[in-house]
Structure 1
Amino acid sequence: MPTGEAGRLAELTDLQALQAPLEPTLTAVAQLAASICRTPIALVNLIGEHLQHLKGQIGLDMVVMDRDIAFCPYVICGRELMQVPDTRTDPRFHTDPLVAGDLGIRFYAGVPIISSRGHALGTVAVMDRRPRRLSPPQQAALSALSTCVSALIEQRHYSRQAEQVTRRLQQMDDLKQLFLRNVNHELRTPLTSIRSYLHLIHDEDGLDPATQHRFLEVIERNSDRLLEKLDELLLLASLSAQSVAFAPQSADLVTVAESAVNEAQTKAWHKHHSLTVCAPDPVPAWIDATRLHHALVHLLDNAIKFTPDGGRITVTVSADPVPSVAIHDTGIGIPDDQAERVFDDFYRTPQAETQAIGGIGVGLSIVKKIIDLHGGTVSLTYTPDEGTCVYVRLPAPLAQAAPDFPQ
């Protein structure tokens, strides 16, 4: 094992070098090495924890082999060019499968691939079936090729990172446009309604009290809708800036879940949903009950909106292995490729757009930020024909923080 093995393996992981398939560029390096050194076999070999990964090769029909086999692991330990002029006379290798087996390797020369962090990630190596030595120019060329391989591996890593950043920036720009469009609709619609009804009250003489009362109810309802949207945006801003008040204390998770269900019952009733709670005895938790209640109401609101009329929504509270809440609905579901993005700020699924389901895409983002405040996790799974389940898992409460609930 070379010194700094943990750091070497960590860098290979960071570069994602072992996960990449056999590359034409690295195969071209192997071809050039074989041509310069006049050998039938050449390879670009990255050495992982247990396996050697032949990322570029000429003359071998392998993709991986055990780390214990043959020559390259010695090169990354020595960190300099290693030549074995005649493998049969070298006690390290004369019984190795590549030497004693059908391949009959008699000559090996390899140079370590040294990264910019100073780790030997692998080798550029050549092999022959007859004893021999490389000339000084051939040795220099092999060393130069190993330097090129190191640069290629790192360049590919940085290129991949740049692509990810570019893709993320494009996603953010798309989200910004979607947010502006949704906010324009969600805020302008109630404002237009309020303005219209105010004009009617102002311009129409002799409106009877019942009509005036009905108009005022519409104005009040739209005002509440407008304030709700603005409150959500302000809360999201506070959560993102980590300036929101957060005061966790001992509480019963079942009580918080039941409170959220009670608040959502009216919306569920209008869509003819069954909304039930399955809970054991009190579940001790260390939470900000107000914030968590808000998050669960958002999750229930989503389940109600995305479940066709007459659906079923079940809220299950559990204490094993940690305090958790699962909200399962029989709705339209979210495909796996969108399951992570739904927690991004302002993201709305294509289903929400095509079905004109209201919202500005902040609900699940607020949920995630509230659960993050608690040190918990929130995840989502979808099973075709069964619906969606959202899991909220909270840290187990400290023994001294656990509330003493009556049994």
Structure 2
Amino acid sequence: MMSPAPVPGDEAARLAELTDLQALQAPLEPALTGVAQLAASICRTPIALVNLIGEHLQHLKGQIGLGMAVMDRDIAFCPYVICGRELMQVPDAQADPRFHTDPLVAGEPGIRFYAGVPIISSRGHALGTVGVMDRHPRRLSPPQQGALSALGTCVSALIEQHHYSRQAEQVTQRLQQMDDLKQLFLRNVNHELRTPLTSIRSYLHLIHDEDGLDAATQQRFLEVIERNSDRLLEKLDELLLLASLSAQTVAFAPQPADLVTVAESAVSEAQTKAWHKHHSLTLYAPDPALAWIDTTRMHHALVHLLDNAIKFTPDGGRITVTVSTDPVPSVAIHDTGIGIPDDQAEHVFDDFYRTPEAETQAIGGIGVGLSIVKKIIDLHGGTISLTYTPGEGTCVYVRLLAPLARPASDSAQ
């Protein structure tokens, strides 16, 4: 009966590094198969492998002559190599009590000789092995042993280089995304701020330059100026709020409150915008639905969500707001709008992100609304998610914490 393979003393840290490097998931096979071919050629063996050893399985990431992708952790020689942390030779496996009952020795392919070296990472953990096997008892010459050890060092460098290259690529992609967002933000802000400013300036010139304007015309011009001033202040307030939420300096005072009351207030505020687009806006809610919330911040978040639903729903659509307490206090806002494809849904809560549909349809905004909402919900310890069903529309789910107990820091005041 085969005994369990030994486990290295640094097993937890070793497995953690394999995870950090994503070595078991990375597509390393072409390069590591080349290493296996080189090992087989140098050592003149029919079988060679580059083996990364996980928690339960051995992952043959590069091999020649064995025909396996994975095998059990307790099989064969490699687990002994990562414990010994140095080159190990087994001249005759059939005569070795550790291996004579091993499936690879007792059965096909009838291994008799094995030699392997550990793949030691820069952190000092043995991640796996580079090994060679033969069906006849034998030994490696000193030059062959040296070459095998060198290949082990090369594999460690390849794994880490692949990891750092992937990280660099991700950083480059993220920097490009940030640059794209910056350009989009500047373009949107330029439009959203310049347009009302241009309007204000134009009407001020009219009031100043035109003699004999009647009182009604002057009043109409002043109303346009006031409306555009309010629009400017609203955009600036949004940017300031986003900045304070990002810096975690925003005022936040949660307490047990009725989520239904907050939802009713948000729906009431949104009714005028919905009416202008001929939407039906309906609230379904129990009474009450207690949650641990900052009512001002939560009202702001729900108004943003409703504004978004109204903007992205064609005229004559339906928007429903449902407040629930099962299993936790929550709000669902369902619209019959144009929706958000799955490949964009993960980005809609990013700062300054605007969907291609918003751009092509010239729907106003600077791309901070949903980002602000996400940060407000995060402040509450809640979650927000979005689903889109073609032909039916979008549903945004907000789930909050029930006011079961006042936080210790609050109750101690």
Q: Provide TM-score, normalisation by structure 2.
A: 0.93
| Contact residue 37 and residue 138 of structure 1 kept, 8 A | yes
Find the aligned partners of 2:234 and 2:135 in 1 and give their Cα distance: 78
Counterparts of 1:25-104 in structure 2, within 5 Å, are: 25-104=31-110
Find the aligned partners of 2:300 and 2:400 in 1 and give their Cα distance: 15
Greater CA drift, 74-83 or 105-114: 74-83
Find the aligned partners of 1:331 and 1:109 in 2 and give their Cα distance: 65
Where in structure 2 are there 5+ consecutive unaligned residues? 1-6, 408-413
Report the residue type matching 1:249 in the other structure.
Q
1:118 to partner: Cα distance: 1.6
Once the two structures are superposed, residues 284-340 of structure 1 have per-residue CA deviations (whole angstroms, 9 ceiling, x without a partner) of: 211111111111111111111111112222222222333222222221111222222
- Which residue does 2:411 correspond to in 1? none
- Which residue does 2:269 correspond to in 1? 263
Find the aligned partners of 2:140 and 2:64 in 1 and give their Cα distance: 18
- Which residue does 2:205 correspond to in 1? 199
Find the aligned partners of 2:293 and 2:283 in 1 and give their Cα distance: 20
Q: 2:171 aligns with which of 165, 186, 190?
A: 165
Find the aligned partners of 1:313 and 1:82 in 2 and give their Cα distance: 70
Q: 2:247 aligns with which of 241, 246, 262?
A: 241
1:187 lines up with 2:189 in the alignment: no
Find the aligned partners of 1:333 and 1:242 in 2 and give their Cα distance: 31
Counterparts of 1:273-288 in structure 2, within 5 Å, are: 273-288=279-294
Report the residue type matching 1:248 in the other structure.
P
Runs in 1 of length 4+ with deviation above 6 angstroms?
A: none
* CA separation of 1:272 and 1:162: change in aligned 2, threshold 3 A: same
Report the residue type matching 2:156 in the other structure.
S
SS at structure 1 position matched to 2:348: helix
1:379 to partner: Cα distance: 2.1
| Contact residue 313 and residue 327 of structure 1 kept, 8 A | yes
Q: Provide TM-score, normalisation by structure 1.
A: 0.94
1:22 to partner: Cα distance: 4.6
1:399 lines up with 2:412 in the alignment: no
1:205 to partner: Cα distance: 2.2
SS at structure 2 position matched to 1:342: coil
- Which residue does 2:162 correspond to in 1? 156
Report the residue type matching 1:263 in the other structure.
E
Counterparts of 1:96-175 in structure 2, within 5 Å, are: 96-175=102-181
1:370 lines up with 2:380 in the alignment: no
- Which residue does 2:237 correspond to in 1? 231
Counterparts of 1:344-383 in structure 2, within 5 Å, are: 344-383=350-389
Find the aligned partners of 2:109 and 2:285 in 1 and give their Cα distance: 66
Report the residue type matching 1:65 in the other structure.
M
Once the two structures are superposed, residues 368-402 of structure 1 have per-residue CA deviations (whole angstroms, 9 ceiling, x without a partner) of: 1112222222222222222222222223433346x
Find the aligned partners of 1:318 and 1:12 in 2 and give their Cα distance: 44
Find the aligned partners of 2:392 and 2:346 in 1 and give their Cα distance: 20
Report the residue type matching 2:25 in the other structure.
Q
Find the aligned partners of 1:376 and 1:132 in 2 and give their Cα distance: 65
* CA separation of 1:189 and 1:22: change in aligned 2, threshold 3 A: same
Q: Please, what is the CA RMSD of the aligned residues?
A: 1.6
Q: State, as a whole percentage, how many aligned pairs show the same letter.
A: 91
Find the aligned partners of 1:9 and 1:386 in 2 and give their Cα distance: 46
Once the two structures are superposed, residues 137-178 of structure 1 have per-residue CA deviations (whole angstroms, 9 ceiling, x without a partner) of: 212211111111111111111111111111111111111111
Report the residue type matching 1:21 in the other structure.
P
* CA separation of 1:281 and 1:106: change in aligned 2, threshold 3 A: farther
1:223 to partner: Cα distance: 1.0
- Which residue does 2:4 correspond to in 1? none
| Contact residue 22 and residue 54 of structure 1 kept, 8 A | no
Find the aligned partners of 1:107 and 1:397 in 2 and give their Cα distance: 68
Once the two structures are superposed, residues 246-295 of structure 1 have per-residue CA deviations (whole angstroms, 9 ceiling, x without a partner) of: 11111122222222111111111111222222323422211111111111
